[in-house]
Amino acid sequence: MTDLDELLAAHDGILLAREHRSRKSSLSRWRAAGRLVRLLPGVYVHPLAAGDFRTRIRAVLARVPDAVVCGQAAATLTAWPEESVTEIEVATASRRRPAAGFRFTRRKVPLDQCRQHGPLTVTAPALTAMDSAATDNGSRIDDLFRKGRITLTALAGALAACPRRVGNRARRRVLRRSRSRPWSQAERRCHQLLDVHHITGWVANHPVLLGGRRYYLDIAFPRLRLVIEVDGFENNSSAAAFEAHRRRQNALVAADWTVLRLTWAMLADPAYVVDTIRTAVHAAERSRSRRAG
């Protein structure tokens, strides 16, 4: 084992220049030889560890004491562990030099909008989702609604906690549209069409109990027993999902619900969607009147 290998093993894979001032020339020599990589000023790791997410996060923790991790990295560490991280975004009170794979922003994040992930401070899911709403049209917000992990109050608080930020106009627009609590981008688009065309009497993700099972109807007109199922790209992504949706539809029809199905492609034709829904609503109203009479 070489002297460098021993050092890396003894310091959990990360060497801080400030802790090895007597080895300054050695660090420079190892780096020049390609045996070390500098992730951040004064932070060195083995080249094979340079792309490791956990190593990069630990480098931030070691170099930036007041760091609050935001964006993709915060998402991965909290509510969206399946997401990949291409850049680690860090909020800090001081200016920091740019570094490949990192983005430093001078920004004060209120403590009540943060969470602890071990020794690391990250933005809470509500703020992480609201941050990204400027570019993802509320996709992370939809996901939190679907998982039952967010409220409108929490989202409004996250937006209010970070005023005068670039992108806040788009975030406010997304927050207004989120009042109907959509669970997907397809639902969000359909809700927008319903509101713009003044179609009322509907609720989103309406719970019903059928055959001992609880279902959440994408868009329901409960008084008319009319349901609109909005199929996004992911709805039938597996054979199991395909079968589950057909069983769900059969259970609804057997319980005297009228079921409309709209796809993402259909939502690109607003006139068709609005006309189809209005026709179904009018037909359901006539049927209800005949039964009442």
- Taking only the tens of pLDDT, the chain with its 293 residues reads 468 999 999 999 999 999 999 999 999 999 999 999 999 999 999 999 999 999 999 999 999 999 999 999 999 999 999 999 999 999 999 999 889 999 999 999 999 999 999 999 999 999 999 999 999 999 999 999 999 999 999 999 999 999 999 999 999 999 999 999 999 999 999 999 999 999 999 999 999 999 899 999 999 999 999 999 998 765 555 788 889 888 999 999 999 999 999 999 999 999 999 999 999 999 999 998 888 86
Predicted TM-score (pTM) above 0.95: no
**CB-count burial class (<10 Å; 0-12, 13-18, 19+) for 113:** buried
Spatial separation of the C-alpha atoms in residues 51 and 45, rounded to whole Å: 10
Is CATH 3.40.960.10 correct for 185-292? yes
Asked if 74 contacts 122 with a C-beta cutoff of 8 angstroms, the reply is yes
Spatial separation of the C-alpha atoms in residues 26 and 20, rounded to whole Å: 10
User: Domain locations in the chain?
Assistant: 1-48, 64-180, 185-292
Comparing CA positions, the residue from 22, 25, 62 lying closest to residue 40 is 62
Give the end-to-end CA distance of the chain in Å, rounded to a whole number. Answer: 91
Asked if 113 contacts 123 with a C-beta cutoff of 8 angstroms, the reply is yes
